[in-house]
Amino acid sequence: MLKRVIIAVLLSGLFAAAAAASSERLVPVADPGWTWTAAVTYDNSALSPSACMACGPESAGSYSTSGTGFVVLGLTGPYASVGGHRRRMGKIRLSIDGQVKTEVSMSHTSFDADVNVTSVTGLPAGKHDIKIEALDGWVIVSGVKVVNDAAADKTPADDPSQAVALGDIPPGVYRLVPITAPLLTLDVKDFKTDDGTGIQLWTGNTSVAQNNQWFHVTRVSHGHYQVCPIADTGELLSIMPGSTTNRATHIWRDVKNDAQVWLLNPQEGGSWRLIPASDPTYALTSAGGTSNGVGVDSEPWAGYPTQLWRITDQMPR
């Protein structure tokens, strides 16, 4: 009997700790913070929120709030009744901070009311903009659960309790210079603009003609940036998916995912750590050395000097 009591106490403590680390709150579509376009009220007693939105093609809803994730709630099924007419259910697109995260079909074989249609979690702590769009048919949305994970915006370094600070820079065209080799700069190999072209370090040339060493650094949201060479603004600095320790990093056309978004984490002396949003335990890393052709990839953050960069705005005007 005593053993059961001890186990129950331990379990209750674990559940309490989990609740403290992560929480959720429901934001129904009737919340005044939502902005809806081309949407109509959809009444259905099977759905728990008092109001839902029926969205046809090219309609959307937007909401801004602080959190580390969003879970979209709604109705799935082969069709929906909207305004007294049967409408074919379609596909939902979920975007966060202007970046498309996922597209999910809501046209299942049977109705499920008020289900978790799709979700994105693991976002950095802070305010985010969520957008829900209807694609190719109608979608029924009842609201979102906003997830707040107290541990989501932590560094993966030796001290996991230290929050990762994010910083912003003025808009402009920049060179990225490693602090370990101040005469070298980030360089797209061989002046190429093809998908998969690698990056390296090469002697810096501040001439505007050296367009493989100049990068547009474009703000997506606070601390979140896309990095694209001025030689081809359709290509973005991207980290390859995978499970290896050293992750290949190259340029690739914009496919609108977190592998092409970089978090700017300010460090001492005006340097920066560049963190791929898809793998926040990593950092853009040079192989070291001061000779032309030094390799650059992304590796687990360890605070090494080879993982620190200066972002220098020296484009001739």
| pTM: predicted TM-score of the whole model, two decimal places | 0.53
230 & 112 share domain: no
Flag whether 51 is in a domain. Answer: yes
**What is the CATH classification number for the domain harbouring 137?**
2.60.120.260
**Structure confidence at residue 268 (pLDDT):** 86
Range of the domain at 31: 24-149
**Structure confidence at residue 40 (pLDDT):** 84
Mean pLDDT for all residues in the chain: 82
**Structure confidence at residue 161 (pLDDT):** 32
**Structure confidence at residue 156 (pLDDT):** 41
> For the chain, what is the domain count?
2
Strand 199-203 relative to strand 184-188: parallel, antiparallel, unpaired? antiparallel
Task: Write down which residue in 149, 183, 204 finishes a domain.
Answer: 149
Gyration radius of the chain's alpha carbons: 23
Helix (H) or strand (E) holding 15: helix 2-21
**Structure confidence at residue 110 (pLDDT):** 64
Q: What angle do CA 59, 65, 71 make, to 5 degrees?
A: 65
Q: How many helices (H) and strands (E) does the chain have?
A: 1, 23
Under-50 pLDDT residues of the chain = 1-20, 152-162
101 & 185 share domain: no
294 & 182 share domain: yes
**Structure confidence at residue 120 (pLDDT):** 85
Flag whether 36 is in a domain. Answer: yes
